[in-house]
């Protein structure tokens, strides 16, 4: 039996006093195996309502649906559930109605969304979430070893192979409950052994933290750094690799503290040339889903990420791809893994079973988060990845161009070092994040302060990932630029 899970308007949904135009709808249904299917309803419908009635209270004329016709009713309980979710947002950030009748038309910050009104979160993760992803988390409880969930988990692992662009039967995706940091622990306690040398390419705060994690498990990290806003050159990396035998090189693809983009393809080429036995480990927490990554083609061994950034799912999932070489390195360890929850001994068979659609248990996964991941990955993979990356480039360029036009500079000193999922902006002399962020918040936009310990009070960070980019109709990028401009002026800066 098909069950309609959620229906919502996207694209052009104009709420006027007495007419609602719905030009495009997306709906999700659950199939017999418990998988959510994305249905795109392409018909155009014009709905008449009483003057002043809102979208959620209006009964829409039923549009025709492809591929199957299913009954649609606007589900006002979805907005009630979203209101409950909002209770977890700090009171200071509340600027929205908590009424269960929150409707599309009352959401002044985000007119295209069914979510309760809330400040637009444009930090470099967590990002704004798609309605359907949040609705996927509102599924009733289910057994984590029942076939409906096992099917969704298995499909999500297969989708990750597409996202990371790997077809090698030797590579293995993992979805674990945890955050991005857990990926470091998996690497440090399974693939690296105590006493192993690791070369950490340092482009900001997250290189320091990954080093700390490696050292915690007994590895010997050596950091190869660069001035703030830059990254180690291929020559420097090659020289370092010639000087010592490293078990692995780690790269922070986008260091979220500086917005500096590294080039894993180039680094992997250097490693394969200078030290073929060395593993290439990419921290893609702020890059997977918004920057190009070609796992097989570039010869990467580990790419780890988290759900809350460009993958577009609330925090709580640690996501990884391991190469056959990385798994071999784990299998040939001299001592058992130094962790229990993060142990590949425990997780590899579970992931293999899930992908083969066989129920399996080591530790309880989150069905709701995995369903949200499945929904988000279905959306992400519904357009070519190259298009997604171009969209992120274009949105980020728009912000970067605005920053330049305001007379400001980015931390990332050259264009090729600039990430496409975020922008780190030096503030004018004498202005701190505390001077500007309250003003941008008043404009309904949440930006992040600085994070790099040497200069945290001198810059702010703007995220541009996920729906804020792929759904320009939300207006998030323009809103970010306007808020930045208003905030700068309010903080006493004179625009050029
Ligand atoms: C590049 C990078 N690596 C690792 C992490 C740690 O991830 P999490 O906070 O999800 O544990 C972050 C978090 O922002 C990050 O940006």
Helix%, strand%, coil% for the chain, nearest 5:
35, 20, 45
Instruction: Please give the full DSSP string across 20-52, using - where no structure is assigned.
Output: EEEEEEEEEEE-TTS-EEEEEE---EEEE--TT
Do residue 59 and residue 206 come from a single domain?
A: no
Q: Ligand 1 within 6 A of 419 CB? A: no
**Residue-level pLDDT at 111:** 57
Strands 302-306, 317-322: pairing kind: antiparallel
Question: 260 forms bridges with which residues in the sheet?
Answer: 255, 418
In a domain, 280, yes or no: yes
- Can you tell me the distance from the alpha carbon of 145 to that of 344, in angstroms, rounded to the nearest whole number? 20
Ligand 1 pocket test, candidate residues 184, 256, 317, 419, most atoms within 8 A of CB: 256
Which residue puts its alpha carbon closest to atom 15 of ligand 1? 285
Q: How far apart are CA 350 and CA 61, in angstroms?
A: 46
Q: Quick one: which atom of ligand 1 is closest to the CA of 125?
A: 14
Three-state DSSP state, 454: coil
Partner residues linked to 283 by β-bridges: 252, 304
Last residue within a domain, chosen from 74, 92, 110: 92
Q: Is the CB of 256 under 6 A from ligand 1?
A: yes
For residues 55 and 165, state if they share a domain.
Answer: no
Ligand 1 atom at shortest distance from the alpha carbon of 318: 10
Domain check: are 45 and 193 in the same one?
no
Is 178 near ligand 1, meaning CB less than 6 Å away? Answer: no
Ligand 1 centroid to Cα of residue 320, in Å, is 13
C-beta separation of 373 from 153 below 8 A: no
In a domain, 83, yes or no: yes
| DSSP-assigned letter for residue 116 | P
Same domain? For 265 and 351 the reply is yes
- Cα atoms in the Cβ-side hemisphere of radius 13 Å centred on 311: 31
Q: Which domain holds residue 202?
A: 147-380
Do both 264 and 196 map to the same domain?
yes
- DSSP 8-state class, residue 258: T
Determine if ligand 1 sits within 6 Å of the CB of residue 283. yes
Angstrom distance (rounded) from CA 201 to CA 199 = 6
Q: What is the mean pLDDT of each run of 10 residues along the chain (496 residues)?
A: 32 29 38 47 32 30 27 29 30 28 33 87 98 96 97 98 98 98 98 98 98 98 98 98 97 98 98 98 98 98 98 98 98 96 98 98 98 98 98 98 98 97 98 98 98 97 98 97 98 97
Residues 173 and 48 in one domain: no
* Domain membership flag for residue 124: no
- Please, what is the Cα angle at 367 between 471 and 361, to 5 degrees? 140
Do 79 and 224 have their domain in common? no
Rounded Cα gap, residues 434 and 427, in angstroms: 11
Whether ligand 1 lies within 6 angstroms of the CB of 466 is answered as no
Atom of ligand 1 nearest to the CA of 315: 10
Q: Is residue 454 part of a domain?
A: no
Judge if 247 and 372 occupy the same domain. yes
Confidence (pLDDT) at 144: 96
8 Å CB contact between 402 and 387: no
Q: Note whether 100 and 83 are within 8 A (CB).
A: yes
Q: Give the residue ranges of DSSP H helices in 111-218.
A: 131-136, 147-163, 180-186, 205-216
CATH number, domain at 315?
Answer: 3.40.640.10
Contact in structure between 438 and 444 (CB atoms under 8 Å)? no
Shared domain check, 84 and 19: yes
Rounded CA separation 217/247 (Å): 14
Tell me how long the chain is.
496
User: What's the 38 CA to ligand 1 centre distance in angstroms?
Assistant: 30
What pLDDT is attached to residue 113? 80
Q: How far is the CA of 181 from the centre of ligand 1 (A)?
A: 6
Do 163 and 71 lie in one domain? The reply is no
In a domain, 74, yes or no: yes
Q: Is 169 inside a domain boundary?
A: yes
Q: Whose CA is nearest to atom 5 of ligand 1?
A: 180
Eight-state DSSP code of residue 278: S
| Overall domain count for the chain | 2
In a domain, 268, yes or no: yes
Residue 424 placed within a domain: no
pTM: 0.81
pLDDT at site 391: 98
For residue 184, the ligand 1 atom closest to its alpha carbon is: 4
CA distances from 141 to 75, 136, 147, 177, 313 (A): 19, 12, 14, 17, 19
Domain boundary among 72, 92, 112: 92
What pLDDT shows up at residue 247? Answer: 98
């Amino acid at each position: 039996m098909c069950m309609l899970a959620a229906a919502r308007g996207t694209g052009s949904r104009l709420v006027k006093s007495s007419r609602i135009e719905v030009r495009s709808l997306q709906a999700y249904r659950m199939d017999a195996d418990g998988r959510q299917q994305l249905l795109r309803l392409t018909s155009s419908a014009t709905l008449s309502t009483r003057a002043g009635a809102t979208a959620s209270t209006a009964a829409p004329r039923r549009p025709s649906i492809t591929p199957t016709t299913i009954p649609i009713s606007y589900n006002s309980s979805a907005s009630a559930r979203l209101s409950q979710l909002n209770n977890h947002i700090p009171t200071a950030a509340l600027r929205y109605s908590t009424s269960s009748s929150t409707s599309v038309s009352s959401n002044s910050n985000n007119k295209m969304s069914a979510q309760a009104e809330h400040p637009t979160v444009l930090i470099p993760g967590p990002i704004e979430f798609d309605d359907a992803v949040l609705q996927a988390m509102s599924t009733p409880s289910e057994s984590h070893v029942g076939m409906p969930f096992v099917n969704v988990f298995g499909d999500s692992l297969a989708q990750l192979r597409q996202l990371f662009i790997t077809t090698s039967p030797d590579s293995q995706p993992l979805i674990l409950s945890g955050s991005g940091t857990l990926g470091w622990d998996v690497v440090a306690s399974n693939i690296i052994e105590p006493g192993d040398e690791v070369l950490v390419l340092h482009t900001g705060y997250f290189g320091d933290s990954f080093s700390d994690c490696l050292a915690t498990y007994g590895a010997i990290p050596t950091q190869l750094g660069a001035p703030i806003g830059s990254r180690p050159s291929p020559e420097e990396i090659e020289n370092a690799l010639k000087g010592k035998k490293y078990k692995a090189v780690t790269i922070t693809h986008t260091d979220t503290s500086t917005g500096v983009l590294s080039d894993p393809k180039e680094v992997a080429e250097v490693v394969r040339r200078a030290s073929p036995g060395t593993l290439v480990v990419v921290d893609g927490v702020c890059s997977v889903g918004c920057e190009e990554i070609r796992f097989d083609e570039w010869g990467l061994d580990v790419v780890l990420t988290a759900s809350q950034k460009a993958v577009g799912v609330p925090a709580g999932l640690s996501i990884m791809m391991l190469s056959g070489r990385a798994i071999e390195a784990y299998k040939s360890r001299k001592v058992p893994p130094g962790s229990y929850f993060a142990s590949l001994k425990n997780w590899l068979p579970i992931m293999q079973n899930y992908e083969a659609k066989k129920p399996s248990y080591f530790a309880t996964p989150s069905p709701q988060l995995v369903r949200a991941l499945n929904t988000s990955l279905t959306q992400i993979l519904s357009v070519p990845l190259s298009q997604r990356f171009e969209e992120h480039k274009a949105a980020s360029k728009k912000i970067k161009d605005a920053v330049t036009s305001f007379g400001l500079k980015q931390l990332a000193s050259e264009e090729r070092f600039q990430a496409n999922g975020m922008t780190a902006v030096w503030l004018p002399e004498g202005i701190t994040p505390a001077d500007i962020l309250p003003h941008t918040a008043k404009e309904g936009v949440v930006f992040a302060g600085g994070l790099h310990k040497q200069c945290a009070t001198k810059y702010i960070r703007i995220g541009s990932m996920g729906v804020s980019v792929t759904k320009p109709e939300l207006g998030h990028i323009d809103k970010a630029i306007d808020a930045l401009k208003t905030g700068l002026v309010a903080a006493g800066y004179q625009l050029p």
